[in-house]
Amino acid sequence: MAKQLSTPTAILLGSAMLAAAVYLGLRHGPAAVAPDARTAGAAPPVEAGPGASAAPAPKSAKAVPRDEVARQAALALDAHRPTLMDRCYKPAIAAKPEPRAVKYLFNITFDAGGRQIARGLIEDQETARPEVTACLVAALPPIAIPAPGANVRVDVPFSLP
């Protein structure tokens, strides 16, 4: 007999797919940025020929490496661990002791300022506890990290306890 997905798990997977589709669509689509006042009347950029030097990128465009962003995101998630343990994990374990550990993979996208702009959650099927997953989704507020300087998507493993 085939295993069926629970409704909360199906909703989470659907949300993660939708978030990924929106993220990828926005990432590859035209930029939705207001024009810079300094370049409003300027001519469109011309492609440089061989031997011409390209203009240097603005200093503020320097991005933090993805692994550093993932480390900062993991620290931000860990800051919420005590609350998530008390609100989501402990009641579930009291009602049904097995499986003891629950494992997740958060897909989080941060803007250049370090604010979360998208988040998905993948639940490990071997340790799945739909009631804990649903609680995590509801209880975890948007997280923030130090400004990475560019939009960055990272995958962050997370487990309880």
Give the integer Cα–Cα distance in Å for 143 and 118: 10
| Domain assignments of the chain as residue spans, ordered by start | 66-161
The residue-averaged pLDDT of 106-117 equals 94
Residues 6+ apart with CB under 8 A from 98: none
Amino acid at 75: L
Percent of the chain with pLDDT strictly greater than 70? 73
In angstroms, what CA-CA distances link 41 with 35, 47, 56, 124, 142? 10, 18, 21, 53, 38
Supply the Cα-derived Rg of the chain in whole angstroms.
21
* 66-161 fold: TolA/TonB C-terminal domain (3.30.2420)
Q: Does the pLDDT of residue 71 top 90, yes or no?
A: yes
Q: Are 100 and 93 within 8 A, CB to CB? A: yes
Range name among 35-44, 84-93, 106-115 with the lowest pLDDT average: 35-44
Nearest to 132 by CA among 6, 19, 39, 34: 6
pLDDT greater at residue 131 or residue 5:
131
pLDDT tens, residue by residue, 146-159:
999 999 999 999 99
Q: Is the pTM of this model over 0.85?
A: no
